[in-house]
Chains A and B, each alone.
Chain A
Amino acid sequence: QKEVEQDPGPLSVPEGAIVSLNCTYSNSAFQYFMWYRQYSRKGPELLMYTYSSGNKEDGRFTAQVDKSSKYISLFIRDSQPSDSATYLCAMYGNKLVFGAGTILRVKS
């Protein structure tokens, strides 16, 4: 079993849709949860960062962590074509582990 599971997609949605991106994990030691966004021909950049459980909101983006279910989510409201990218979840306990990334395409 992989430590972090993430559906690679691609996920294709119309502009304005609410997008839900998810990761599951197996390591209970993870305490820090991150989402990175990677545009084509660019490196990943940190989008959201959460410690332990709960929600965090930043503009159109909301990160949720449910440690009891070992499940994290990133919600994007009013999605825009500029949100088209690969979204990678990452988790840190005593080491940093990345998911495989989900390709998101927002159609105008």
Chain B
Amino acid sequence: ETGVTQTPRHLVMGMTNKKSLKCEQHLGHNAMYWYKQSAKKPLELMFVYSLEERVENNSVPSRFSPECPNSSHLFLHLHTLQPEDSALYLCASSQDWLSGANVLTFGAGSRLTVL
């Protein structure tokens, strides 16, 4: 496996369910990110982890809970979501956080539908 891998690719859940999104990077990067992508809107940064420490949390509702157990893995735990949370959730990694280049490598995304 190379690059950034996200699972599952598609997820349908009810508002009372609990599910998790998983991300794994094989690039030796030190920073990992969760972004939300909705139609015709800019990518919304949700969380940033640098060297396994959360360094940014952009006013994301508590029904989204990130976890970074090591520098290669990132999870997004989901519970009691709302229909407006339906979107494509993208994981990304970069060599370092807050570097000038800050070039991100993205996974293919997890398409979430909340019924």
Contacts and interface: CB of A to CB of B under 8 A. Distances in A.
Interface residues of B, number: 20
A22 to B, nearest CB: 15
Contacts of A49: 101, 103
A8 B4 CA distance: 26
Contacts, number: 50
Contact of B103 (A6, A41, A46, A88): A46
| Secondary structure dominating the interface of B | loop
A100 B40 contact: yes
Interface string A59-92: 0000000000000000000000000000010001
A96 interface: yes
Which range holds the interface residue count of chain A? 20 to 34
A43 B101 CA distance: 19
B102 interface: yes
Contacts of A44: 43, 90, 104, 106
A88 B43 contact: yes
A96 B99 CA distance: 10
Nearest to A89: B42
Interface of B: 4, 6, 40-43, 45, 90, 92, 98, 100-109
